[in-house]
Amino acid sequence: MIAPDDMAACRAMIRTGSLSFHAASKLLPSRVRDPALALYAFCRVADDDVDEVQDKAHAVLRLRERLDLIYAGRPEARPSDRAFAAVVQDFDMPRALPDALLEGLAWDAMGRRYDTLSDLHAYSARVASSVGVMMCVLMRVRHPDALARAADLGLAMQLTNIARDVGEDARAGRLFLPLVWLEEAGLDAERFLANPQPSAALSGVLQRLLGVADDLYRRASAGVSSLPTDCRLGIAAARHIYAAIGTEVARAGHDSVRRRARTSRGQKLMLMGRALGSAALTHVLPQPAQLHARPVQEVAFLVDAAGQRSARAQRSETLLAILAQLEARDRRGAV
């Protein structure tokens, strides 16, 4: 059970840190909304703790220690950690799911770039699909088809974020676009990072990325019908609000260097109305065939992990190897 003061702190974090999710969360039943806000608050704090410091390796290692304490039932004295510890206990949250997020943040700390769309999917699976799958766990849904569609939604949202934040990321020395796509468009990654400028070639890459996201949004929509009745509207709203960010990127000529696309309060209200219609249809239409589509290869491990009923699964060898690299880097930095 989440303590009231911790819950209030989590709500405040999301109210200012994730406007799109905060808007959609209002449409979820309280039995899911409160643990979801706790989950998102922990993920937001974790991301900020790594993203906003210079010693990213040390920040990731500290996050590992915090997760260890959370799963031991002795969280640090932070509202987000205490609230997430309650969620872990109440919902038997498989450790592999937040560990996947940890691995994605470790990739960020290592400054990893992504050659292909598959590589980018693997990253997005960790930093976004892991959260989508955890949301299913909070709804007490662990059917593989529903989990796969939640993972699709996470992928789509992350690709949308990447398309929206190209300029902001480049000015911070980060690049998430597939390097092969940039090369095919005649763009030099290092030259772009040195002087981020919009171009027709870059717009084409972003249009291509958002096309992939749109396909994933369509697959994700098929999963709404597999969710509890009182959860469908909130998830449909999150899907429509995030997809609209991509629409705003397109409306700006796919120029995410000079401006950062966002949706207004009025647009969010309109999109919630659209979500109401699509959620209502799930009650009268048969389940779509795409509900049963195989999961994208890069998210399959999340679907498998969420199906486990033990919160204390072993960490993956890949994560352990990455953490060992970060520990070595952290020790070198301390010398």
Tell me the per-residue pLDDT of 166-220, one tens digit each, with 9 for 90 and over.
Answer: 999 999 999 999 999 999 999 999 999 999 999 999 999 999 999 999 999 999 9
Is 71 a residue whose pLDDT tops 50? Answer: yes
Mean pLDDT of 12-22: 74
Convert 199-230 to b/e letters by CB count within 10 Å (16 or more is b). Answer: eeebbbbbebbbebbbebbebbbbbbbbbeee
**Which one has a higher pLDDT value, 116 or 28?**
116
User: DSSP secondary-structure letter at 188?
Assistant: -
**Count of residues for the chain?**
335
Q: What are phi and psi of 310, to 5 degrees?
A: -105, 130
pLDDT tens digit sequence for 238-260: 899 999 999 999 999 999 999 99
Closest CA to 10 of 31, 32, 39: 39
Round to whole Å and give the CA distance between 128 and 124. Answer: 5
For the chain, the average pLDDT equals 90
Mean pLDDT of 123-137: 96
72, 292 Cβ separation under 8 angstroms: no
Q: What are phi and psi of 242, to 5 degrees?
A: -70, -40
What pLDDT is stored for residue 94 in this prediction?
95
- CATH architecture of the domain 94-316 equals Orthogonal Bundle (1.10)
Query: What pTM, to 2 d.p., does this model score?
Result: 0.90
Question: Tokens for 106?
Answer: 């470790």
Question: Tokens for 288?
Answer: 């779509």
Round to whole Å and give the CA distance between 280 and 294. Answer: 25
What pLDDT is stored for residue 2 in this prediction?
92
Sequence spans of domains, the chain: 94-316
Round to whole Å and give the CA distance between 228 and 118. Answer: 31
**Which one has a higher pLDDT value, 60 or 121?**
121
What pLDDT is stored for residue 334 in this prediction?
54
38, 95 Cβ separation under 8 angstroms: no
In the three-class reduction of DSSP (H, G, I as helix; E, B as strand; rest coil), residue 189 is classed as helix
Question: Tokens for 200?
Answer: 């027709």
pLDDT tens digit sequence for 158-168: 999 999 999 99
224, 285 Cβ separation under 8 angstroms: no
